[in-house]
Amino acid sequence: MATLPIIIAPDPRLKMKCKPVGQVDEAIATLMTDMLETMYLAPGIGLAAPQVGVTKRVIVVDATGKDEERNPIKMANPELLFTSEEIWTYEEGCLSLPDHYAEVARPTKVRVGYLDENNKRCELEADELLATCIQHEMDHLDGMLFVDHISALKRNMILRKLVKTKKLKAQDAAAE
């Protein structure tokens, strides 16, 4: 197992459309395991392959609470088979946009089809936090960030702050 560096926005690698996985082989299964380890360490409740520089349709999620038993879910080629008309709003964050949050409205319930780590075709029904998390990670596979769901004004404010933070970090690194 290994942890992987997480790409921070704005970055063109977070805006790419990812390619489907042909089949979940050993390399993809290892990627899923490494992504989960990276996500737990961060810590976060979801991570998509483009966030670690891999333009493949792979996501991992675990929306269980701190005191609950872990429930890691690994998905390749996730597809939404059903989305409810009912909407759920949640203050989302993202490991690629550290320290920034915004309310995003998405369908409350979803049914997702995907390949698991054994290349087995699976379906999962999810609601509320898990459903939001899956939809957020799936967005990443099409180059969408949660800030693409909010007003341009708020989005640009967050992205400007991220650019500033990146510059400061680069200066600090150069000074060392």
Sole window of 25-33, 60-68, 94-102, 149-157 interacting with Ni ion (rule: CB under 5 A): 94-102
Is residue 92 part of the annotated active site? The answer reads no
Q: Which is nearer to Ni ion, 111 or 149 (CB)?
A: 149
Q: Which is nearer to Ni ion, 60 or 94 (CB)?
A: 94
Determine which one of 68, 79, 92, 137 is catalytic. 137
The contacts of residue 100 (CB under 8 Å, 6+ apart) are 93, 94, 147, 158, 161, 162
DSSP 20: P
The answer to the question of residue 94 lying near Ni ion (CB under 5 A) is yes
To Ni ion, the closest distance from the beta carbon of 162 in angstroms equals 13
Read off φ and ψ for residue 82, nearest 5 degrees.
-155, 140
- Residues touching Ni ion: how many (CB under 5 A)? 1
To Ni ion, the closest distance from the beta carbon of 26 in angstroms equals 26
Q: Which is nearer to Ni ion, 115 or 141 (CB)?
A: 141
Sole window of 64-72, 90-98, 115-123, 152-160 interacting with Ni ion (rule: CB under 5 A): 90-98
Identify the CA nearest to 52 among candidates 72, 73, 31, 71: 31
Bond from prior residue into 12 cis (ω within 30 degrees of 0): no
To Ni ion, the closest distance from the beta carbon of 132 in angstroms equals 11
Distances (CA, A) of 32 to 78, 92, 136, 142: 13, 22, 17, 18
To Ni ion, the closest distance from the beta carbon of 36 in angstroms equals 15
Question: Encoding tokens for residue 16?
Answer: 């790419």
Q: Which is nearer to Ni ion, 94 or 138 (CB)?
A: 94
Report which residue's Cβ sits closest to Ni ion.
Answer: 94
| Other Cβ atoms within 10 Å of 98 Cβ, number | 14
What's the angle, vertex CA 141, arms to CA 138 and CA 143, rounded to 5?
115
Question: Encoding tokens for residue 72?
Answer: 């890691």
The answer to the question of residue 73 lying near Ni ion (CB under 5 A) is no
The site for Ni ion (CB under 5 A) is made up of: 94
Catalytic (active-site) positions:
137
